[in-house]
Amino acid sequence: MAGVGAATLNGRVVAGVAAVLLAVGVWVAATRSKSQPAAGASAVDALVAATVPKVEHAVGLKFKRPPRVEVRSREQVRQFLETQFNDPRQQRDIAGTSAALKLLGLIPDTLDLRHEEEALFTEQIAGFYDPKTKVLYWIAGEDSTAMLDEVIPHELVHALQDQYVNLDSIENAEGNDDRTMAAQAVFEGQAFYEQLAIAEPGVSLANQLPGLYGKIRDAIRENRAKMPQFTAAPMVVQEVTIFPYLSGIEFVRRFEVHHPGGVPFNALPVSTQQILHEDAYFGTPQALPVTVTLPPPRTGTVSYVNTMGEFQTRLFLFQHLDDQNTSVRGAAAWVGDRYEVIDLTDGPAIVWVTLLDSPVDAAQFVDLLDQTAHNRFGAPTSLHVYTKGTRTVTIAPITVGGHPGVLYTDAPAASDLPLLDPAKITTP
């Protein structure tokens, strides 16, 4: 999808949402006046002109050309979003992501993911930067000048980033949402970091960031009435939305420590693992993910292929185990993964291959997947096999290219399992 604003479930972004309103900025905005008047076009132009040099100073780069700013009505933005969601590639991505998340039990079977995302993104729109048109848009007559002060610096950072790296091409790369989410965390993390630095000049962000996650969580709880779509969304929707800002700002803070005066998007991280763990990106050598290539299934047609990554693996475990520490530890052993959604005669299936650091880690991951399947489907019908109604889950330890791993399958009960030949799964 095009645009910079809020994370979608497939790791991309959609134009139309100022994320500082949706999640992270609610904490900042809560400290400002809530009764200021609505901002007009002249106020937007004046603030942009005054903020450009502040953004250039904070980021350490100059705008190559003046940022374009236009004011749009809420109806115009709604139509813009409709165009984005009607794009054939976007429809394909949403359909594939929806099928995968439902098969993994991360969203309800009845959830319309497109409607969920549209409602989420239009809930609180104030402003956004669109990399396709190269324009920073502000929504006319909505919200206060105080919110304008929060959104404009954030989106100007995106406009500046886009003049040095093509945001649209990076965020619309297909087939590896883990890598896309990692890049997005850098872009949103830097925008959020500099937004706060501009709002509170002279204040040490390093001292504020350790408690930021809790503050934002508290702000979300306190502002449920203002964000009903967000607070009612499934856990995975909330966490994928928040990830680029909270984890991203921490990554940018680390980058400032290791590479003072550098630009974090010159050498983008390639996995959410590198965002989550300092040594994974800043250590020597870096922890690079192992590429997993899945063979064609023995039966059926592959309709969608992608990668979960450490972060979404953590969410899967937490969804079904409800134990944060166990989920974090289990996912931390991730070194690479790949999944396919396969259309079968009796219904869809998913095969998910995850590679781990060591045989011990792989055995522990098998145990965790057994626990998730037991919690969803009840007691196993045989070793690592769980059947409930018309569905069967199988969990099989495997080795791929010398890496210990696990093959997880959720398929119609009548399927001829395994759907993939483990011997044909490859790594470079």
Distance, CA of 184 to CA of 76 (rounded, Å): 26
Instruction: Calculate mean pLDDT across residues 264-280.
Output: 96
Is the pLDDT at 224 greater than 80, yes or no?
Answer: no
The mean pLDDT value for 228-232 works out to 83
Dig out the tokens for 142 from the structure. 């909505």
Among 109-123, 217-231, 315-329, the least confident range: 217-231
Is the CA virtual torsion 306, 362, 334, 114 positive or negative?
Answer: positive
Question: Is it the case that residue 131 has pLDDT exceeding 80?
Answer: yes
Candidate ranges 121-130, 216-225, 380-389; pick with highest mean pLDDT: 380-389
CA distance 426 to 423: 8
pLDDT surpasses 90 at 177: yes
**Which tens digit of pLDDT belongs to each residue from 188-222?**
999 989 988 888 776 666 566 666 666 766 666 66
The amino acid present at 375, given as its one-letter code, is N
pLDDT of residue 148: 74
Please state, for a pLDDT cut of 70, what percent of the chain lies above it.
Answer: 82
- Low-confidence winner among 98-112, 199-213, 275-289 (lowest mean pLDDT): 199-213
Looking at the chain, which residues constitute the CATH 3.40.1000 domain(s)?
301-424
Q: What is the tens place of the pLDDT at every residue in 291-326? A: 999 999 999 999 999 999 999 999 999 999 999 999
Cα 257 to its chain centre, rounded Å, is 24
Residue 325, pLDDT score: 97
Which amino acid is it at 125? I
Tokens standing for residue 80: 């813009």
Token output for 165: 């790296």
- Which pLDDT tens digit goes with each residue over 334-368? 999 999 999 999 999 999 999 999 999 999 999 99
Residue 10 has pLDDT above 60, yes or no: no
pLDDT at residue 385 greater than cutoff 90:
yes
Strand partners, 338: 353
pLDDT tens figures, 161-173: 999 998 988 877 7
Q: What is the pTM of this model?
A: 0.89
**Is the separation of the CB atoms in 309 and 272 below 8 Å?**
yes
The whole-number pLDDT of residue 172 equals: 72
CATH of 301-424, one of 3.10.350, 1.10.3210, 3.40.1000, 1.10.287: 3.40.1000
Q: Quote the pLDDT of residue 47.
A: 87
* 29-55 pLDDT per residue, tens: 333 334 344 445 677 888 899 999 999
Specify whether the CB–CB gap between 349 and 300 falls below 8 A: yes
Q: Which distant-in-sequence residues (6+ apart) come within 8 Å of 42 by Cβ? A: none
Residue 123 pLDDT: 67
Secondary structure of the chain in HEC code, one letter for each residue: CCCECEECCCCCEECCCCHHHHCCHHHHHCCCCCCCCECCHHHHHHHHHHHHHHHHHHHCCCCCCCCEEEEECHHHHHHHHHHHHHCHHHHHHHHHHHHHHHHCCCCCCCCCHHHHHHHHHHCCCCEEEECCCCEEEEECCCCEHHHHHHHHHHHHHHHHHHCCCCHHHHHCCCCCHHHHHHHHHHHHHHHHHHHHHHHCCCCCHHHHHHHHHHHHHHHHHHCHHHCHHHHHCCHHHHHHHHHHHHHHHHHHHHHHHHCCCCCCCCCCCCCHHHHHCHHHHHCCCCCCCCCCECCCCCCCEEEEEECCHHHHHHHHHHHHHCCHHHHHHHHHCEEEEEEEEEEECCEEEEEEEEEECCHHHHHHHHHHHHHHHHHHHCCCCECCEEEECCEEEEEEEEEECCEEEEEEEEEECCCCCCCCCHHHCECC
Reading phi first (left if > 0) and then psi (alpha if -120 to 50, else beta), residue 389 is in left
Mean pLDDT for 362-382 is 97
Q: Mean pLDDT across the chain, nearest whole number?
A: 85
Tens of pLDDT, residues 387-423: 999 999 999 999 999 999 999 999 999 888 899 999 9
**Residue closest to 321 by CA, chosen among 385, 369, 380:** 369
| CA–CA gap between residue 161 and residue 146 (Å, rounded) | 24
Look at residue 41 in the predicted model and tell me its pLDDT.
61
Q: For residue 145, what pLDDT is reported?
A: 62
